[in-house]
Structure 1
Amino acid sequence: MKFFDELKARGIIDALSNEEELEKKFNEGGMSFYCGYDPTARSLQLGNLFTIITCMRFQKAGHKPYMLVGGATGMIGDPSGKSEERNLLDMETLKENIDAIRKQLGLFVDFECGDNAAVLVNNADWWQGLGFLEFLRTIGKRFRVNEMLNKDSVKSRIESDSGISLTEFSYQVLQAYDFVTLNKLHNVSLQIGGSDQWGNMTAGTDLTRKMNQNQVYCMTMPLVTDQNGKKFGKSAGNAVFLDGSMTSPYKMYQFLLNQDDAIIDALLKYYTFLSLDEIAELDSKTKNEPHLRLAQKSLAQEVTKLVHGQEGLDAALRATQFFFGEKIENVSDADVASIFEDTPSVELSSEMLNEGGVIDMLSETPLFKSKKEVRRAIDQKGIYINNVAIEGPTQTLSKADLASETALVLRKGKKNYCVVKFK
């Protein structure tokens, strides 16, 4: 299957500025294209990963990616899809975010693969040297305010209670000039991004034609949403970050595993390199045996492995088994905090680990109201430490009972957990 046809079949193309020309160029290879990421956090997230994987597809098809980190635009904030003004970042935080995202992008696109090796660029490099008056004379005069007001990202904000500042109103001008500069310096002729970027992108194609007298193009992809229609993004409050210290491999795996049958086919096409035949087979199995959740498991495994490697996937799978009774051991405090994030916890003195009794410990947790209730539960063989049944009421505690550096996990019955931290 030709590259353009595969993008279409996967549903990756939402809109094109010139479909007939781009179909030919996509199939031929050799285009230089760019995709931008504003450093509003120290990690990109699952919504961004869709565009990153699309960049990987383009690179595999022989196109050259320019991965733009918005050191300049990140100081302002894109109003697209936002209902209110962003909080502006200080320069130190912005720099830390830029450095982190640069390293993160290097985990996915290939920066060393010859003629179409990816290139990292930062739009602060060309914006920092441009004065305000020069900006107005050379760039600002080429924009018409009435056209800018008609952009969806601007119209929705103007009609809202919060309105829009001149700062965010100017964002589309900055993004448009990024395209002009990349076209001039690197012969970049295509910009890709989410469908909420269409207005900013077409502003860039228009400005590049006016300033460089070159024809350039843009392609948008669908915005990825969960089963409730919420955007996979940090601004929507349901962020799944690519940085394992911010979202653990286990949390990422579980998020993907819990996606609805109605959207799983699209997510497999967007986020994995499984063939369309393999995805069709998974779709068929999902319809015939939905309880097995084979498509969700494939999605969770493919994406978690891509982001966190085999080691991260193994850790996620192992953590998942904890809830099926596997002994909890050799994990870190951070792992326990992540895996049992929604579980009640209590902090007790570490002196209790010096041969303290389990009854005393259990009575101090939210799982029990009294020592009498503890004894009854132990007699009924319904209490577990790290998924290992308590032997009896005289059992004592030691550091060997810890699942991590400072914590153990209690279970009452099948589903009632409590994390005990010792300080």
Structure 2
Amino acid sequence: MTYNSSLLRLLDERGYIHQMTDAEGLDALASKQVVPGYVGFDATASSLHVGNLVSIMLLRRLQQAGHKPVVLMGGGTTRIGDPTGKDEVRKMLSDEAIEANIASIRTAFERFLTFGDGPTDAVMVNNHDWLGQIGYIEMLQKVGTHFTVNRMLSFDSVKLRLEREQPMTFLEFNYMILQGYDFRHLSDTMGVRLQMGGSDQWGNIVNGVELARRMDGKEVFGLTTPLITKADGSKMGKSVSGAVWLNEDALSSYDYWQFWRNCDDRDVGKFLRLFTDLPLDEIARLEALEGGAINDAKVILANEATRLCRGEEAAKAAEATAAQTFAGGGLGEDLPTVEVSAEGIRLGVACTALGFTASNGEAKRKIGEGAVKLDDAAMDDPGLLITVPAGETRKLSLGKKKHGILKGV
């Protein structure tokens, strides 16, 4: 389909579109007026991760095309938990923890979006503001009558859980009703006409579209992105050593930069289109590079992605650290660092402290495989006591791409 609106042309050219509830209707609406659109994010941690980034970039593209991004934080729905793709009940968080997580997460959005009071400025809202006020009987009467249990059981988020014989609480079963009500509430109070999200949210989004039509007679729209995976089939939000967090206090800028620099050759073009603002003709040139030259494109990808998420200085520092570490044989200042007291630190503990491994057990395995080096010499004893004189440093490495500093204090 050929789109007339700059919004859908932009999303289509860069590979964001998977499904839409009414492509022609949304295209016509976006051609004639500012469309407020939202994506929902639950606040289960103090930072979002790279797996959330395509949804953040959707909001950025929305704003770039002259429309209004609405960031919906699930202060209410976090208390329940989205069952989609989950086998276990989500751990309950306190009100204080949820509020702290929302405040921390906002700092990442401020890198990608322009917030303010203008017609296309981004706003952040919290669904606890309305879900926390509505009574149970009122919710059943106003909203529950528009959902059939038959249809709710047909959604993948429920069906897959039951097929795997994993328990689903009644609390979780209600999640799709509350998410649908979010869309209806935002459309009624803020004029929001579009909900966006990943392909796994299609059923929940359709519920909201239908609920707004049934309760208010309003036409709203849904759009999902394809499932974004890496060339090896793994999820976007994960790396060898765990989640790739967006916030600086959860993951160093150097490690964030390295995640993009170490991507598969086959992913370079896709990632440049989705996660950077580079022009499409420049992206086409970069993804056509072959052999060792593709590494130049990966450095550009790492710089651009890090600049958006962490800022210009962080991107420059990470690139300089990588150049010094790999090309110059030295120790870049931006490498992850662990301070070592006079008592020293065990090799396995040091690997985990630097973020190379998720546990001391994993560190033991990596050391046994000969993948860990201290000052470029292979080590085979996880219990080795490493000492570092005060004011001096030693280099610890896992494989060829992960390096860290042990600093004596």
| TM-score, L = length of structure 2 | 0.81
**Deviations 1:332-379, CA, capped at 9 Å, x for gaps:** 874788996439xxxxxxxxxxxxxxxxxx99x98599xxxxxxxxxx
Q: Does 1:227 align with 2:231?
A: yes
Matches of residues 31-110 of structure 1 in structure 2 within 5 Å? 31-110=35-114
Structure 1 stretches lacking a partner, 5+ long? 344-361, 370-396
**3-state SS in 1 of match to 2:288:** helix
In structure 2, the CA distance between the partners of 1:96 and 1:368, relative to structure 1 (3 Å rule), is closer
**Deviations 1:271-303, CA, capped at 9 Å, x for gaps:** 111111111111111xx3355423322211110
Residue equivalent to 1:327: 330
1:275 to 276, 279, 296: 279
Q: Does 1:193 align with 2:197?
A: yes
TM-fit CA distance, 1:319: 2.3
1: CA distance, partners of 2:309 / 2:247 = 9
**3-state SS in 1 of match to 2:263:** coil
Residue equivalent to 1:211: 215
Structure 2 stretches lacking a partner, 5+ long? 340-349, 358-373, 382-387
User: What one-letter code is carried by the residue in structure 1 that aligns with 2:327?
Assistant: F
Residue equivalent to 2:122: 118
**Deviations 1:180-222, CA, capped at 9 Å, x for gaps:** 1101101111001111100000000011111111011000011
1: CA distance, partners of 2:401 / 2:240 = 30
Residue equivalent to 1:385: none
**3-state SS in 1 of match to 2:125:** strand
**3-state SS in 2 of match to 1:67:** strand
**3-state SS in 1 of match to 2:260:** helix
**Deviations 1:143-195, CA, capped at 9 Å, x for gaps:** 10101111111111111131322111111000000011101101111001111
1: CA distance, partners of 2:38 / 2:306 = 25
2: CA distance, partners of 1:416 / 1:265 = 24
2: CA distance, partners of 1:236 / 1:138 = 47
2: CA distance, partners of 1:418 / 1:191 = 42
TM-fit CA distance, 1:269: 1.0
TM-fit CA distance, 1:83: 2.8
Asked whether the equivalents of residues 253 and 301 of structure 1 are also in contact (C-alpha less than 8 Å), the reply is: yes
Residue equivalent to 1:9: 13
1: CA distance, partners of 2:137 / 2:46 = 33
Q: Does 1:342 align with 2:356?
A: yes
Asked whether the equivalents of residues 230 and 236 of structure 1 are also in contact (C-alpha less than 8 Å), the reply is: no
**3-state SS in 1 of match to 2:223:** strand
Asked whether the equivalents of residues 337 and 407 of structure 2 are also in contact (C-alpha less than 8 Å), the reply is: no
2: CA distance, partners of 1:415 / 1:144 = 52
Asked whether the equivalents of residues 367 and 416 of structure 1 are also in contact (C-alpha less than 8 Å), the reply is: no
1: CA distance, partners of 2:402 / 2:25 = 60
User: What one-letter code is carried by the residue in structure 2 that aligns with 1:121?
Assistant: V
Q: Does 1:408 align with 2:394?
A: yes
TM-fit CA distance, 1:26: 3.0
Higher Cα Rg, which structure = 1
2: CA distance, partners of 1:65 / 1:240 = 24
Give the RMSD, CA atoms, in angstroms: 3.1
2: CA distance, partners of 1:24 / 1:254 = 41
Asked whether the equivalents of residues 336 and 404 of structure 2 are also in contact (C-alpha less than 8 Å), the reply is: no
Q: Does 1:141 align with 2:127?
A: no
TM-fit CA distance, 1:37: 0.7
TM-fit CA distance, 1:250: 1.1
In structure 2, the CA distance between the partners of 1:78 and 1:233, relative to structure 1 (3 Å rule), is farther
